[in-house]
Amino acid sequence: MSEAAFSLLRWTARIAALLVAGIFVFFVAAEFINPHSGPPTKLREWVGIALMVLTVVGMLLAWKWELAGACVSLLSLAAFCILVPMNRYDYVIGVAAAPGVLFLCDWMVRHFRAAPTGN
């Protein structure tokens, strides 16, 4: 894989993370400006909010630490899916998982690429 391909993978992950984080911030801001529903009342709702914030923070941490950020993002998203059941939102979860998967692929490709041999 060429350096250009490595760079493309890394920047695709970074741009995807910014897009997902931006959309999340947009929804949170819109909910504060014009609330669609009342404030969270159940523990499950608060846990879901905390896990989504952790998912987005993990994406942004992955800019510096690809493996740690990707793992935080994907594990918190998996916990969100288990604890907060959602109907017919598989594509939303897939979009939210995309940056973490891309950062994980970036780390794996860079970490496991064959070192040049000097024979």
C-alpha–C-alpha distance, residues 101 and 85, integer Å = 21
Sketch the domain layout of the chain as residue ranges: 13-24+42-112
Amino acid at 81: C
- List of long-range contacts for 48-54, beta carbons under 8 Å, 24+ apart: 48/80, 48/83, 48/84, 51/76, 51/77, 51/79, 51/80, 51/83, 51/84, 52/24, 52/76, 52/80
Per-residue pLDDT of the chain (119 residues; tens, 9 = 90+): 688 888 899 999 999 999 999 999 998 888 888 887 777 788 888 898 899 999 999 999 999 999 999 999 999 999 999 998 888 888 889 999 999 999 999 999 988 875 565 55
Please give the model's pTM, rounded to 2 decimal places: 0.85
